[in-house]
A = this chain, B = another copy of it.
Amino acid sequence: MVVKVYGPDYATTKRVIVCLIEKEVEFETVHVDGFKKEHKQPEYLKLQPFGLFPVVQDGDYTIYESRAILRYFSEKYKNQGTDLLGKTIEERGLVEQWLEVEGHNYNPPIYNLVVNIMVPALFGEPSDPKASEEDEEKLGKVLDIYEERLSKTKYLAGDFFSLADLSHLPFTYYLMNQMKKGYMVRQRKHVSAWWDDISNRPSWKKVLQLYKHPFESLD
Residues of A within 8 A of B (CB): 49-50, 61, 63-65, 67-69, 71-72, 75-76, 89-90, 92-94, 96-97, 99-101, 103-105, 142, 145, 148-149
Contacts and interface: CB of A to CB of B under 8 A. Distances in A.
Contact of A50 (B68, B90, B105): B105
Given A65-B101, A97-B65, A50 B145 contact: yes
A104 B104 CA distance: 8
B105 A93 contact: no
B92 A72 contact: yes
B71 A148 contact: no
B93 A71 contact: yes
Given A49-B148, A97-B63, A89 B104 contact: no
Contacts of A142: 50
A49 B142 CA distance: 9
Interface residues of A: mostly helix, strand, loop or mixed?
helix
B65 A100 contact: yes
Contacts of A92: 71-72, 75
Contact of A71 (B63, B65, B96): B96
Contacts of A75: 89, 92-93
Contacts of A101: 50, 65
Given A63-B94, A68-B97, A68-B99, 8 more contacts: A49-B145, A63-B93, A68-B96, A69-B93, A72-B89, A75-B89, A76-B89, A100-B103
Given A49-B145, A104-B103, A105-B50, A93 B72 contact: yes
A135 B201 CA distance: 40
A68 B93 contact: yes
6 contacts: A67-B96, A71-B92, A71-B93, A72-B93, A75-B89, A76-B89
Contacts of A148: 49
B61 A90 contact: yes
